[in-house]
Amino acid sequence: MRSAFLAVALVMASGAFIQNGLAAPSYKPTKEELQSIQSRTDELKTALKDIAAGNVDDALMADVEVYQKAALWIMRYAEEEFYARRYVADTLTVLDHGLARAKELKAGQPSWPARKGQLVRAYRSRVDGSVQPYGLVIPDGYDGTKPVRLDVILHGRGTTLNEVNFIVGHDSAKPVPPDQDYIRLDVYGRGNNAYRWAGETDVFEAVASVRQRYRIDPRRIVLRGFSMGGAGAWHIGLHHPDQWAAVEAGAGFTDTKRYTKLDNLPPQQEAALHIYDAVDYVLNAFNVPFVGYSGEDDKALQQTINIREQLIKEGFSFKQDGLNWLTGDLSMLFLVGPKTGHKFHPESKQRSDQFIQTILAKERTVPNHIRFVTYTTRYNRCFWLTVAALEKHYQRAEVDARRSDDGMRIGIKTRNVTRLILPDQPQGPKLIIDGSEIQLSPHLHSQPSELVLDKKPAGWSSREGAGKIDNPQSLRKIHGLQGPIDDAFADSFLCVRPTGIPARPLANGYSVATLNVFTREFAKWMRGDLRIKDDAAITPADIANHHMILFGDPESNRLLGQIAGRLPIRWNRENIVVGEKSFSAVDHMLVMIYPNPLNPKRYVVINSGHTFHEKEFRGTNALLFSRLGDYAVLRLVKGADGKIEESVELAGFFGEEWELAR
């Protein structure tokens, strides 16, 4: 039985923040304090409306709008998010800073783009159109004449973190350390979600925004994090190994089941753990320098040990140096702070900094030897190698690729891979893959071009170009179009509300409640409002630009009615038919993700938001993994209190061509 989350109103802890079952007292603002905040928020809203009437750069507009957003969100959750009395004064300070920026922008003289020291900037997210903040520390010596190093910092879980708290902490006159010669980016990450789903997207959107605004050396971008941020650094560093010059991961969880002590999970949940568990991706440390750290007395030490033990299983050796562990097989260092709990020991931090400085002092080059592992095409790229298709998702896929210095000889070994893409390949390299030499297609250009390798029953073949998704019959699970349900909410999506007459009252009640819960939970825990439109208002541009999240049934939602006959699961007035299994449509609901038949380059999701909920967000972030796979049939029961509860009758994943797996 999944959580009964379909009540119209969730039960909230009045006046308290719940963290792992513990309540932290919060301050209840007075009526006068709330009125003061509201008055100043309205003033900023008016100023923003006035500015928007002119021809203003939207990126600069976001830098101002984020201050209003901070006030709006803390007021939306006023009973919970004024964690202390100072949050009232902090909110007013945030609004004052926003008003000052609005005045400068209105006059066409924004000063903050050239500001040094600590400041807050923002971007507008493609996920939901929300403005999201990030913190910067710009050294005094930065003048934009040459590219500089960027350190990306992922924060730990903050029980009193919100936009107001984040902005006040990063928008100050605190001096920059005199020896800092790099730009520091502090990622907000949409709050506390361990940089998963839209939280992961936030990291890359924030980095992209900084790179657009400042002159960053792409070869010297360092990723760092501690605690929840350490979990994020393990995850993002290992899943995207070609993006970072070095990674420092401190005291973060790396393995869901051991960390949360979960057991006996349904098969689709067991498989979904392979999406984020960093321990499954440790081989990718072959491609990026890494520091792993934990205190000797920290419970998180075991999570770092997990990584080292898995690397040993992968064939790498380590030797102990006091409490630390060294290896000559990788550019990697495991540090343990002596007699230290959940914090960075000063000597360990100094050694980590020295390790990273040594790495950055060397010229970063694209390696000719890549060893790469993944379990999903969501994470599929490492330098000059892209894993474009798998034999089976959520099973280990591996590539060991070597090329000569001139690129004319390439040797590749694969496991569980059916398509590889090698960009910018020269004409006619000698290519051996899985022991067989590939005769390259004669039409390859004389200039470097993208080389596609496809594995078929007869063996590997080559062609030029990545190919296209032309119709649903040619679908395949590829990057960004591989599921599961929750994957749709890491990119631009639009919820579609039904306006027709539903055929099934119980299912309709479930659908309405699901959209309401998703609206509420996304705003609270992912810090943005859903885009929602009626089905009758959807345009071709909407279908082209967004994943479509459809609520209702084929009778009540006109888009769902258009595509129902083109899905691998049949859904009519009487039944939901999954292969040879049939379920009554009266008291069952279909939820699923699939390439949108109206635009197969985007998803369609039916009757689902995130498949984890309030309880998981309030608990440990390791619980934010997918619960239902690609599809599920839910049994619906209406209780005596009128609430609809559901249990999972069937759940699973589609095959590699988005077919019902046998």
Between CA 372 and CA 385 the distance in angstroms is 9
Indicate the helix (H) or strand (E) that contains 233: helix 228-239
E strands, 407-448, in order:
409-415, 417-425, 430-433, 436-438
pLDDT at site 464: 82
The single-letter DSSP state of residue 176 is: P
pLDDT band at 446 (very low <50, low <70, confident <90, very high): low
The residue ranking higher by pLDDT, 136 or 12, is: 136
Q: Which CATH number fits domain 215-390: 3.40.50.1820, 3.30.930.10, 3.20.20.210, 3.40.50.620?
A: 3.40.50.1820
CA distances from 281 to 5, 285, 397, 477 (A): 33, 8, 10, 20
* Residue whose tokens read 């050239």: 114
pLDDT at site 338: 98
CA distances from 326 to 285, 320, 355, 447 (A): 14, 6, 12, 43
Between CA 308 and CA 255 the distance in angstroms is 12
Q: pLDDT at residue 465 above 70?
A: yes
As a whole-number percent, the residues of the chain with pLDDT over 90 amount to 87
Q: pLDDT at residue 16 above 80?
A: no
pLDDT at site 13: 29
Runs of H (alpha helix) within 527-634? 540-545, 558-563, 614-618
Q: pLDDT at residue 23 above 70?
A: no
Residue-wise pLDDT for 589-605, tens only, equals: 999 999 999 999 999 99
Q: pLDDT at residue 11 above 50?
A: no
The predicted model scores a pTM of 0.94
pLDDT band at 442 (very low <50, low <70, confident <90, very high): low
The one-letter code for the residue type at 534 is D
Q: pLDDT at residue 552 above 80?
A: yes
Q: pLDDT at residue 466 above 70?
A: no
Tell me what the pLDDT averaged over the chain comes to: 93
Q: How many CA atoms lie within 13 A of 251 on its CB side?
A: 22
**266 within 8 A of 272, measured Cβ to Cβ:** no
Between CA 106 and CA 102 the distance in angstroms is 6
Q: pLDDT at residue 51 above 70?
A: yes
Q: Where are the domains of the chain?
A: 215-390, 398-473, 485-652
**Strand 532-534 with 246-250, pairing:** unpaired
Joined tokens for residue 43: 């003033």
Residue-wise pLDDT for 467-523, tens only, equals: 544 444 579 999 999 999 999 999 999 999 999 999 999 999 999 999 999 999 999
Joined tokens for residue 608: 């689902």
Q: pLDDT at residue 415 above 70?
A: yes
* Residue whose tokens read 């034999």: 391
pLDDT band at 19 (very low <50, low <70, confident <90, very high): very low
Per DSSP, the residues of 341-357 read -SS--HHHHHHHHHHHH
Stretch 453-472: mean pLDDT, rounded? Answer: 75
Q: How many CB atoms lie within 10 A of CB 291?
A: 24
CA distances from 270 to 231, 263, 273, 276, 618 (A): 19, 9, 6, 12, 22
- Of 157-161, 172-176, 182-186, 476-480, least confident by mean pLDDT is 172-176
The residue ranking higher by pLDDT, 654 or 471, is: 654
**236 within 8 A of 212, measured Cβ to Cβ:** no
β-partners of residue 575 are 584
DSSP SS3 for 100: helix
Stretch 527-549: mean pLDDT, rounded? Answer: 98
pLDDT at site 398: 98
Joined tokens for residue 81: 């998010």
Stretch 618-623: mean pLDDT, rounded? Answer: 93
Quick one: CA torsion of 74, 79, 81, 87, rounded to 10 degrees? Answer: 80
The one-letter code for the residue type at 328 is G
Q: Of the candidates 593, 602, 509, 603, which has an alpha carbon nearest to the alpha carbon of residue 553?
A: 509
DSSP SS3 for 588: strand
Joined tokens for residue 112: 């903050």
pLDDT at site 270: 97
Stretch 535-554: mean pLDDT, rounded? Answer: 98
SS3 content of the chain, % helix, strand, coil (to 5): 35, 30, 40
Q: pLDDT at residue 115 above 90?
A: yes
DSSP SS3 for 272: helix
Q: pLDDT at residue 9 above 80?
A: no
The one-letter code for the residue type at 385 is L
As a whole-number percent, the residues of the chain with pLDDT over 70 amount to 93
